Chains A and B, each alone.
Chain A
Amino acid sequence: MEVLAAGAVEEGVVAVGVDRFGLGWRPPLALGILSNLDRIDVVEVIADDFFNASRNERRALQTLAAQVPVTLHGVSLGLASSVAVDPRRLDRTARLCEEIRPLSWSEHLAFVRGGGIEIGHLAAPPRCEETIEGALKNLSLARTIVGIAPQVENIATLIDPPLSRYDEAAWVSEIIRNSQSDLLLDLHNLHANATNFGFDPMDLISRIPPGRVRGIHLAGGKWVGKGDDRRVLDDHLHGVPDPVYALLEKVGARTEPRLTVILERDGDFPSIECLLDQLDRAREALARGRARALRREVAA
């Protein structure tokens, strides 16, 4: 099924003609993942977990990467900020990429610190010219230091970011169009934001050139708050909801079959079988979208 062997983190190398489906690597899922590699094409490793890892832990990661294609996913660079990303953090990412040679690496379009304060999670910056410019500079530096541009992920937010002059679709697409970074499209983040702030999620999807969507994240969440003030929280503790599969089908109808689709689960772990069933549903949704696009093409 794999077109390219694992370990192809080189500029210009693309996996043509194959979608990959996999899970986020979490220690409680390790046994289940390793026991089901016939149903898992790829695993996504959180880069930050290994920045200060021991030699043995890093060797274990290399062993994992030798068994299954790996993508690397960062959470703490804070690329979408007017403040320059710390090159030492990028050095660590570069070192990890050299060691495990992932298929790709990715980070979030978020800011995570400001004025010396660590927020402790991903936060949506004001969507304005300054943060677009800051993100573009940071992405350029990331590409220079790591050697390949990161894919960038849209984030979920509970707050409508203050001082924004762009809507999310315009802000994200502006960054994608003006950088060499492709989009890691998190469909639950998009679903949550669209639900919370009342916009059509297809608006963002349709503004991104189809060839620039290279990865998909799937996850679940829950409602928080009360009454009219309820919002969807992207907590990665619940199953993937139906609207997210529906969005995946729509993405399938627009994109070439070279997506890496990762199911993220961070806790309240169900059985591995339950997670694999969700991956199967994702495969089916993407296939339905692809078939629809094919029928449309034939009819035209």
Chain B
Amino acid sequence: MSASIVEAFLARIYVDAQARARFLSNPTVEARAAGLSPDEVEAVKQIDQVGLELLALSLERKRQKQCAKGRGRKYFWRKAK
């Protein structure tokens, strides 16, 4: 498994609503385009769609909360300098 490619692919469909929608409507094409191997493409076609939607919603709400707060755990996701 090209694990780093898989992680990048998952990160994208978890946080990017458009990428997620493209993937769900055409998983084979999107997964191939992301560089996943044929076996990986077959595996992600079986993705837990309920979980994916719930996770995406949860992440979106967390981002909204963090933006609204404007402080608190403000350094969490800042890139290391």
Q: Which A residues form the contact surface with B (CB < 8 A)?
A: 27, 46, 48-53, 75-76, 81-83, 86, 88-89, 92, 111-121, 123, 125-126, 128, 130-131, 134, 157-160, 162-163, 196, 224-225, 229, 231, 233
Contacts and interface: CB of A to CB of B under 8 A. Distances in A.
Secondary structure of the A contact surface, majority rule: mixed
B1 A128 contact: yes
Contacts of A89: 80
Contacts of B50: 225, 229, 231
Given A81-B7, A82-B4, A120 B54 contact: no
Nearest to A133: B3
Contacts of A48: 73, 75-76
Interface of B: 1, 3-12, 14-16, 40, 43-44, 46-48, 50-52, 54-55, 57-59, 62-63, 66, 72-73, 75-81
Given A114-B8, A131-B3, A123 B14 contact: yes
A157 B55 contact: yes
Contacts of B3: 81-82, 125-126, 128, 130-131, 134
A186 B61 CA distance: 23
Given A126-B3, A158-B58, A224-B58, A120 B51 contact: no
B76 A75 contact: yes
B3 to A, nearest CB: 3
30 contacts: A48-B73, A49-B76, A81-B4, A81-B7, A89-B80, A114-B7, A114-B12, A117-B8, A117-B15, A118-B77, A120-B62, A120-B63, A120-B77, A121-B58, A121-B62, A123-B10, A125-B3, A125-B7, A126-B6, A126-B10, A128-B3, A130-B3, A157-B55, A159-B48, A159-B52, A159-B54, A160-B51, A162-B46, A163-B6, A229-B50
Secondary structure of the B contact surface, majority rule: helix
Contacts of A130: 1, 3
Contact of B73 (A46, A92, A113, A114): A46
A300 B1 CA distance: 49
A161 B3 CA distance: 13
